[in-house]
Amino acid sequence: MNRAYVSIDACHLPQVTDAELLGQLAAGLPFALEPAQRAAWEFQIAHLRELAVELPPAHFFLEFLIPRMGRRADLIVVIDGLIFVVEYKVGSSQFDRSSVDQVYGYGLDLKHFHETSHTASVVPILVATHAEEPVDNSLQWEDDGLARPLKVSADGLAPAINYVCRIWGGQPIGPVEWAEGRYRPTPTIVEAAQALYRGHDVEEISRSEAGAENLTHTSDYIASAIEDAKRNDRKIICFITGVPGSGKTLAGLNLATARQRAHGDEHAVFLSGNGPLVEVLREALANDAVDIARVAGEKTSKVKENRRASAFIQNIHHFRDDALSTEAAPIERVAIFDEAQRAWDVEQTSKFMQQKKGQLGFSMSEPEFLLSVMDRHDGWCAIICLVGGGQEINTGEAGIAEWLRALQRSFPHWQAHIPETLEHKIDLEEEITAPALHLATALRSFRAERLSDFVGEVIKGDAEAARAISHELQDFPLFVTRDMDAARSWLRSNVRGNERSGLLASSNAARLKPYGIFTKAKIEPAKWFLAPPEDVRSSNALEDAATEFDVQGLELDWTCVCWDSNFRRKGKVWETMQFRGTRWQAVNDAARQAFIANSYRVLLTRARQGMVVFVPEGTLVDKTREPEFYDAIFEFLRLSGFKPLP
């Protein structure tokens, strides 16, 4: 895979014609060259010749791949031991916030995920070709050697690079060796969905070591299983398991996009009962498609792109409801069910069907009904179940065992592909054990692959085991504080570029309201995860807290988990409580206890780069917020490896 469409020394540029350069650029495109893109490249080629005269030692990379974001930086300049990441806004007369964040994001991507950039000094530069030079454009360095973006006009780019080189230049970097450095990108699920939807392969946007190799093996195995099912005209179901953040949803999205591109007649669909996830991904895909069309000079509309995105990612409940209205087989031959463990059991499904859908006498669990819908196909079909363990947070969630029981009870002719880690005692007629179907490496928290293990020990209540793991999380800040304002300040100080931070709290965290955390005020998921910081509905505004229901399957870079006394310490164990009316009541039902514990498990595994936990001080004047409730929580977290926030 070529990192850049064009790689050339400044001294060699006069030997290459404009047409040759344009041809190399166009050859890299997976689609036809649009007029708007052609005009932009023609401007950049002409400008590159001017830069070559002013910067004779430089090496240039045009359209350099930024894997995590599935995009390409317009220009990389390697000179005097410095890496300049340049983004052009041709024809623009102003430096808009989104463009500044875009080029800042490119710099962050290199710093975090490109090994030969870890120790290099990286300077992002936004070029608004027709803008006036900003009055205050001084260079500010971060601790990790990444500069805050410079803003220049087309005429100001070469002088800016020369100035930075004179003051901060160092030992030369071999440009080819730098470019070939290993990339280990870890996209957010939103970034991954956008990149896959644009046509990128999962190999381009995922890490290249064990975790991503596992992801690729999983995708290859399922693709092979589907082709075998087609050849032999049979029905199959595959279960993908994995630790939190290991890429289960990414694997599902990759499968759906790959099957749609190569086998459109299968109508592969990604189905999820996670309403916020569906809403956020659809909005992100539609917005991205509109932006791409606008840059390319094409006509489209938000309504049209929303319709396209909705066909690709569907709410599983809408899929179910459509199946109730007909006995015909669905158009989809390949159905990917996200978070399959959250499907309802018989009792919950029957209750819903009778009360909400008028289906009297309905006696199937949700897994059995969904299997029956796909079983309507004459010939082959495939179901892919993405399974997360220990994340059940809703009443009536059946877990994965109900899928297996439904297969045994009603669909023995289905072939089941099951990972070794999914232990069960259900006798299936056609079961194939497939090690490739388990994703063992956490990819979400790229700074801390053992974060899920650490959180697991915290939830179990083993402070000593958690603290031992915390020593392996040195690059992942773990703080605890009693000051909500300090927590907000910490989040704001860490966010850079397009990174996102946010406040999280358990849905039953009823007594955080005095501290400005009111979980009964529902967020708008698409706005919370996607809107810019100046929008008060944005997560980055740090006003509204999201609950476990809002964030399961999604992620942020930096989080503050607001901890209430619904999950408190009693001696050496956790005690689960719920707030009713005016007081806390003990939760004795084992399932409800698990839901509360899992809510904190979900909240504590949302961060990619670091987190702070806020534990209130409490007060003696309010029996529902007694200090002893919170002091024991704070002390346990401190002993587990969370450091007091300075």
pLDDT score of 392 more than 70: no
What is the per-residue pLDDT across 174-186, written as a single tens digit (0 to 9) for each? 999 999 998 877 7
Among 4-18, 156-170, 186-200, 467-481, which stretch is predicted with the lowest mean pLDDT? 186-200
Phi (first) and psi of residue 504, to 5 degrees? -125, 145
Tokens (6 digits) for 243: 């630790």
What mean pLDDT comes out for the span 81-93?
95
Among 137, 165, 166, smallest CA distance to 153 is for 137
* Burial degree of 14 (CB within 10 A; 0-12, 13-18, 19+): exposed
The predicted structure's pLDDT at residue 213: 60
What mean pLDDT comes out for the span 293-314?
86
Task: Give the integer Cα–Cα distance in Å for 532 and 322.
Answer: 36
Task: Give the integer Cα–Cα distance in Å for 201 and 192.
Answer: 10
Band of pLDDT at residue 321, cut at 50, 70 and 90: confident
Band of pLDDT at residue 210, cut at 50, 70 and 90: very low
Residue 423 near residue 399, CB atoms below 8 Å: no
What is the per-residue pLDDT across 324-372, written as a single tens digit (0 to 9) for each? 889 999 999 999 998 888 777 778 778 878 776 777 778 788 889 999 9
What mean pLDDT comes out for the span 79-96?
95
What is the per-residue pLDDT across 618-646, written as a single tens digit (0 to 9) for each? 999 999 999 999 999 999 999 999 999 99
pLDDT score of 440 more than 90: no
Q: What is 153-166 written as a DSSP string? A: -TTTHHHHHHHHHH
**H or E segment and range at residue 284:** helix 275-296
Among 508, 507, 520, smallest CA distance to 586 is for 508
Higher pLDDT, 318 or 282: 282
What is the per-residue pLDDT across 504-518, written as a single tens digit (0 to 9) for each? 999 999 999 999 999
The predicted structure's pLDDT at residue 202: 66
What mean pLDDT comes out for the span 282-304?
86
Among 214-218, 466-470, 571-575, 600-604, which stretch is predicted with the lowest mean pLDDT? 214-218
Residue 223 near residue 258, CB atoms below 8 Å: yes
Among 178-182, 546-550, 571-575, which stretch is predicted with the lowest mean pLDDT? 178-182
Tokens (6 digits) for 267: 């109508």
Among 491, 507, 511, smallest CA distance to 558 is for 491
Calculate the average pLDDT of the chain. 90
Higher pLDDT, 146 or 136: 146
Beta bridge mates, 86: 75, 125
Among 60, 187, 174, 169, smallest CA distance to 112 is for 187
Among 222-226, 312-316, 481-485, which stretch is predicted with the lowest mean pLDDT? 312-316
Band of pLDDT at residue 413, cut at 50, 70 and 90: very high
Residue 150 near residue 139, CB atoms below 8 Å: yes
The predicted structure's pLDDT at residue 411: 96
What mean pLDDT comes out for the span 455-474?
96
Residue 391 near residue 341, CB atoms below 8 Å: yes
Band of pLDDT at residue 446, cut at 50, 70 and 90: low
The predicted structure's pLDDT at residue 211: 47
